[in-house]
């Protein structure tokens, strides 16, 4: 029933039980693969009587570079000393185990740890989200959440989010990245449930999975109901992450799993007494198994050569005790996709950050270098004909690119996508993973002249497109009257990026394809903000902005959360594609001209990065552009690439 390692002070030692499976299981090469060269992160290894201690020992014995997290570094160093002594006694020449400070009760500590980890390590292959507390009385963290849901789930969600760029780059370069969430049998007891409609209810009903607001988690449902709900959140998070990995095309390189230790005699159950739960922790442990045996499902979940599978759930063969096996969670809700999605979205709101596996979100306020960023973005958005932005996106540039749409249909298109040969310097840097996100391109005002650059950052289907209008045009020539079609296309990721393009062609299909290409070349960042308090994710425009095209003027005004988009269908569609959910609008001029109305709205969305507000005023940091940083790399090719 216990899981993870406690972050509370020791009360007494756990019951000492015999290790029935651990010693022989980890020595068998068929159970744990070779981990040489891999970096493993294990959270909550603050005691020698926790699951993390024995999991770290097993991973280190197979060659992994292990990093453990603790709240108290001095205590962590003592644990490492004991770990290394045990490994030395067994004649294992393991790599030194590193200790890093991280407090699961403090989101800022999580962010600081993630930043420091990325500075010290250039890869991350294994993540064991093991830290946890159990059955404690109501305690609120400094971030305003119940200590059990924040320690057991929210902090691990935020840590995974912050380490995602490193995890993704490791998967792309080396493959075989695994993340596991340590759950508990309590996720199955009493069948905890989720009701997303009550996430903002100060008095949620019994059985609610979690209440993500500055109130008590689960109301009066008690110690164990809250604990079971937080452990169910671990399984739902693991399963939803696996589904999103598959959708992002990363399922063959990364795996997300979950596990439970059964009834393991860990220090967690003893320290629970101090928090008001488990009055007879030592007596309860006698019906279970040793802490070392309880750690084996965790080891199997990340390091088994054949049984480690994405979306799998691991535990003891007999429920509470036994050798590790792949099993299933008895709670049907653990495999409910709607519940998992609701949890994911609620977790994003709780930590105040969006977790996107592909197409990284635009800069967060704590990452902005204020004046420099806004000056560069403003310059980038007003480049006009260069790179398909501004007027160039709707003029002759679109016509030139349209010729590439001709050919033998879908077969040729797929072949060209697989065999993309970049023709520009920016294309080469993107194709060779020297540039890993769109924000770096926008920050340095680099012109985008190949639509494949945009496709590189978005897996198929993640960048939505929609035809706004198709209208015929006629032209009288010496050969007679010719008919052509002009198509206006909108693309966006509903997460702060939107593009608008047009194309004129003899055939509608050709015009649509050309419009999509022009819109991708015209993709811009849209800054989003808040109306009133900065709670949850940005939902509206950050200030009043306006745009103009022809006689049409469009104005966007911030609106309270829940207002929706008050405007015409064209405006609603464009702001939905940009990821804006609440906005007041006003317009004047000949708004029935769809093309001019769409362009005016597009200019207004561009203007969201036209102003510098006090909340973004931080120290300026100057960095080299990718063209400067990779000058030698670009000079290696014999082919001459253009800008």
3-state percent helix, strand, coil for the chain, nearest multiple of 5: 40, 15, 40
Q: Which residue has the higher pLDDT, 530 or 333?
A: 530
pLDDT confidence bin for 615, thresholds 50/70/90: low
What confidence score (pLDDT) does residue 418 get?
59
Cα-Cα-Cα-Cα torsion 131, 135, 139, 144, nearest 10 degrees, comes to: 60
Q: Which residue has the higher pLDDT, 11 or 309?
A: 309
What confidence score (pLDDT) does residue 141 get?
83
What confidence score (pLDDT) does residue 497 get?
93
Query: Can you read off the two tokens belonging to residue 596?
Result: 């001019």
Say whether 152 sits in a helix, a strand or coil: helix
What confidence score (pLDDT) does residue 256 get?
96
Q: Which residue has the higher pLDDT, 284 or 35?
A: 35
Angle at which helices 155-174 and 107-120 cross, to 10°: 20
pLDDT confidence bin for 201, thresholds 50/70/90: very low
The 10s digit of each residue's pLDDT in 509-529 is: 999 999 999 999 999 999 998
Calpha distance 562→552 (Å, rounded): 28
Calpha distance 396→385 (Å, rounded): 9
202-210 own/partner pairs: CB under 8 Å, 24+ apart? 209/233, 209/236, 209/339, 209/343, 210/149, 210/153, 210/343, 210/346
Say yes or no to pLDDT of 34 above 80.
Answer: yes
pLDDT confidence bin for 502, thresholds 50/70/90: very high
Q: Which residue has the higher pLDDT, 482 or 615?
A: 482
Query: Can you read off the two tokens belonging to residue 567?
Result: 């405007």
What confidence score (pLDDT) does residue 57 get?
94
Q: Which residue has the higher pLDDT, 20 or 643?
A: 20
Say yes or no to pLDDT of 628 above 80.
Answer: yes
Low-confidence winner among 407-416, 504-513, 595-604 (lowest mean pLDDT) = 407-416
> Can you tell me which residue has the tokens 């493959």?
175
The 10s digit of each residue's pLDDT in 537-566 is: 889 999 999 999 999 999 999 999 889 999
What confidence score (pLDDT) does residue 439 get?
83
Calpha distance 129→345 (Å, rounded): 20
pLDDT confidence bin for 450, thresholds 50/70/90: very high
| Average pLDDT for 613-633 | 75
Beta bridge partners of 529: 540
What confidence score (pLDDT) does residue 381 get?
46
Say yes or no to pLDDT of 637 above 70.
Answer: no
Calpha distance 307→507 (Å, rounded): 53
Calpha distance 584→579 (Å, rounded): 15
Calpha distance 255→402 (Å, rounded): 40
Residue 529: how many other CB atoms lie within 10 Å: 17
What is the share, in percent, of the chain residues with pLDDT greater than 70?
77
| Average pLDDT for 114-123 | 93
The 10s digit of each residue's pLDDT in 346-367 is: 888 888 888 988 754 433 433 3
| Average pLDDT for 81-96 | 91
Check: pTM over 0.95? Answer yes or no.
Answer: no
Q: Which residue has the higher pLDDT, 144 or 104?
A: 104
Query: Can you read off the two tokens belonging to residue 416?
Result: 């060209």
Query: Can you read off the two tokens belonging to residue 98?
Result: 């590193």
Calpha distance 465→463 (Å, rounded): 7
Q: Which residue has the higher pLDDT, 643 or 457?
A: 457
Q: Which residue has the higher pLDDT, 223 or 93?
A: 93
| Average pLDDT for 582-596 | 93
What confidence score (pLDDT) does residue 39 get?
96
| Average pLDDT for 271-293 | 60
Q: Which residue has the higher pLDDT, 112 or 360?
A: 112
Q: Which residue has the higher pLDDT, 390 or 573?
A: 573
Calpha distance 125→569 (Å, rounded): 46
pLDDT confidence bin for 584, thresholds 50/70/90: very high
Q: Which residues are catalytic?
A: 227, 231
Question: In CATH, what is the architecture of 22-351?
Answer: 3-Layer(aba) Sandwich (3.40)
| Average pLDDT for 221-235 | 77
């Amino acid at each position: 029933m216990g899981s993870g390692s406690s972050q509370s002070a020791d009360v007494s030692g756990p019951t000492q039980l015999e290790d029935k499976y651990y010693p022989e299981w980890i020595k068998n090469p068929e159970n744990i693969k070779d981990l040489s060269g891999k970096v493993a992160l294990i959270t909550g290894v603050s005691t020698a009587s926790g699951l993390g201690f024995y999991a770290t020992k097993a991973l280190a014995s197979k060659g992994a570079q292990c990093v453990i997290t603790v709240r108290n570094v001095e205590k962590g160093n003592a644990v490492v000393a004991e770990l290394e002594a045990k490994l030395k006694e067994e004649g294992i020449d393991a790599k030194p185990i590193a200790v890093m400070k991280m407090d699961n009760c403090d989101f800022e500590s999580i962010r600081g740890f993630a930043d420091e980890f990325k500075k010290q390590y250039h890869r991350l292959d294994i993540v064991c989200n093991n830290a946890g507390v159990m059955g404690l009385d109501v305690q609120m963290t400094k971030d305003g959440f119940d200590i059990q849901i924040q320690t057991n789930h929210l902090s691990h969600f935020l840590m995974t989010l912050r380490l995602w760029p490193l995890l993704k780059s490791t998967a792309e370069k080396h493959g075989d990245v695994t993340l596991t969430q340590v759950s508990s049998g309590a996720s199955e007891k009493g069948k905890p449930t989720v009701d997303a409609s009550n996430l903002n209810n100060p008095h949620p009903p019994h059985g609610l999975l979690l209440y993500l607001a500055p109130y008590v988690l689960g109301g009066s449902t008690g110690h164990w109901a809250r604990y079971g709900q937080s452990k169910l959140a671990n399984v739902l998070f693991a399963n939803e992450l696996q589904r999103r990995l598959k959708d992002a095309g990363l399922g063959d390189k990364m795996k997300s799993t979950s596990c439970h230790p059964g009834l393991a005699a860990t220090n967690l159950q003893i320290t629970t007494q101090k928090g008001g739960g488990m009055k007879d922790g030592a007596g309860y442990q006698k019906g279970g198994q040793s802490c070392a045996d309880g750690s084996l499902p965790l080891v199997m979940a990340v390091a088994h050569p054949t049984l480690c599978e994405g979306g799998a759930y691991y535990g003891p063969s007999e429920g509470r005790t036994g050798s590790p096996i792949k099993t299933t969670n008895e709670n049907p809700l653990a495999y409910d996709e709607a519940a998992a999605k609701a949890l994911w979205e609620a977790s994003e709101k709780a930590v105040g950050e969006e977790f996107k596996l592909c197409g990284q979100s635009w800069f967060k306020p704590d990452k902005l270098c204020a004046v420099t960023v806004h000056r560069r973005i403003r310059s980038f958005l007003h480049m006009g004909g260069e790179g398909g932005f501004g007027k160039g996106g709707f003029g002759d540039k679109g016509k030139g690119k349209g010729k590439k749409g001709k050919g033998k249909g879908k077969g040729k298109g797929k072949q060209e996508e697989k065999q993309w040969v970049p023709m520009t310097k920016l294309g080469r840097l993107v194709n060779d993973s020297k540039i890993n996100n769109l924000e770096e391109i926008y920050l340095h005002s680099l012109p985008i002249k190949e639509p494949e650059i945009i496709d590189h950052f978005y897996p198929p289907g993640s960048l939505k497109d929609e035809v706004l209008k198709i209208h015929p045009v006629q032209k009288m020539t010496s050969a007679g009257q010719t008919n052509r079609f002009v198509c206006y296309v909108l693309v966006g990721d509903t997460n702060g990026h939107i593009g608008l393009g047009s194309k004129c062609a003899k055939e509608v299909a050709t015009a649509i394809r050309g419009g999509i290409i022009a819109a991708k070349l015209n993709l811009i960042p849209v800054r989003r903000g808040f109306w009133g308090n900065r709670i949850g994710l940005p939902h509206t425009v950050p200030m009043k902005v306006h745009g103009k095209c022809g006689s049409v003027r469009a104005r966007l005004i911030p609106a309270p959360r829940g207002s929706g988009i008050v405007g015409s269908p064209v405006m609603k569609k464009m702001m939905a594609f940009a990821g804006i959910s609440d906005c007041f609008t006003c317009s004047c001029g000949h708004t029935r001209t769809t093309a001019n109305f769409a362009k005016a709205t597009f200019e207004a969305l561009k203007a969201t990065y036209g102003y510098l507000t006090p909340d973004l005023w931080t120290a300026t940091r100057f960095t080299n552009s990718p063209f400067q940083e990779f000058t030698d790399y670009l000079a290696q090719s014999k082919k001459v690439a253009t800008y």
